Structure 1
């Protein structure tokens, strides 16, 4: 049996790659994060709003996805959360624009954390559905994006929220609606 990595993610042989001289210099990005279980453990003893505020204040580490994707929590309030991020070309898709997954991740983070702000200590959530409408293309030149999520209907088992992503000039780039399963313990 061939190991998974050998089949699906082979190390490229620089001598066998055609056209590499025309591709320009390779770029790289380093991602650093802290132990995610430190924050999660502390979060289990706090209300969702207090937990997210602790991240915002720097008392708890942000989740690794924020470093990986290059965005951060900007503000929280009861039933709402806002993230900001400036995409670069490392999140481009094959057609030369920011991948929809980057925008969707911002939207999911904003609406999920908006729901989280409504939850008491010891209660968590997970996304169970998200519907995204992409309205305009996003490029590395779009500047800082702002994703704001707000709860439209809290619930004991399922909560609903909406979100949008806006460019620096305020134009709406994408919208989303989603639902989160509420989980105790």
Structure 2
């Protein structure tokens, strides 16, 4: 007998409205508003199921509770999911150092995976820490830890900075 397929439904807000708020606020104010739930998370955040939980100048924290829909073919959370939340946490950390009207995008991300993640791992936390913010580029470090503070993955990124368009 064939196994019944699984389904997942979710919704998201207009990303253009969120972008308009990003352009008008400092990065710290924008990421803090995400963490407080005053601004809705991006469609990507809704798709992956993560949320920003903390923002301070130079750092940002994201929580993700692993689910079956995050799994790869070998039964653990896909490395691309972990990379995505690290990329977001590090980018958000850089954002917290930026004034209004400055945008950013990842130039590169390097990830080192240390242990597998499954539903039984429980909620994982990705933390990004800005290391350097210059005129045209910025760098950050990231890590993912489980609820017992075990290290899951580490990462570095380099982002390009540019005037944000409304």
| Alignment TM-score > 0.5, same fold | yes
CA distance in 1, matches of 2:35, 2:138: 23
Give the unaligned 5+ runs of structure 2: none
TM-score under structure 1 normalisation? 0.86
CA distance in 2, matches of 1:79, 1:63: 21
Q: How big is the alpha-carbon RMSD for the aligned residues of Structure 1 and Structure 2?
A: 1.0
Q: Is 2:59 aligned against 1:83?
A: no
Q: 1:169 aligns with which of 123, 131, 148?
A: 148
Give the unaligned 5+ runs of structure 1: 1-20
**Structure 2 residue aligned with 1:26:** 5
**Structure 2 residue aligned with 1:155:** 134
Q: Is 2:90 aligned against 1:143?
A: no
**Structure 2 residue aligned with 1:7:** none
Instruction: Judging by fraction of residues, say which structure has more strand.
Output: 2
Deviation at 1:56, TM superposition (A): 2.0
Deviation at 1:30, TM superposition (A): 0.7
Q: 1:64-121 CA distances to partner (integer Å, 9 max, x unpaired)? A: 1111001100000000000001111111111111100110011001000000000000
TM-score under structure 2 normalisation? 0.95
**Structure 1 residue aligned with 2:95:** 116
CA distance in 2, matches of 1:55, 1:138: 25
Deviation at 1:41, TM superposition (A): 0.6
Moved over 6 A (4+): none
CA distance in 1, matches of 2:86, 2:79: 10
**Structure 2 residue aligned with 1:102:** 81
**Structure 2 residue aligned with 1:131:** 110
CA distance in 1, matches of 2:138, 2:145: 24
Deviation at 1:58, TM superposition (A): 2.3
Higher relative contact order (CA 8 A, sep 6+): 2
CA distance in 2, matches of 1:173, 1:57: 26
Q: 1:20-54 CA distances to partner (integer Å, 9 max, x unpaired)? A: x34x2211111210001111112111100111112
Q: 1:52 aligns with which of 31, 48, 59?
A: 31
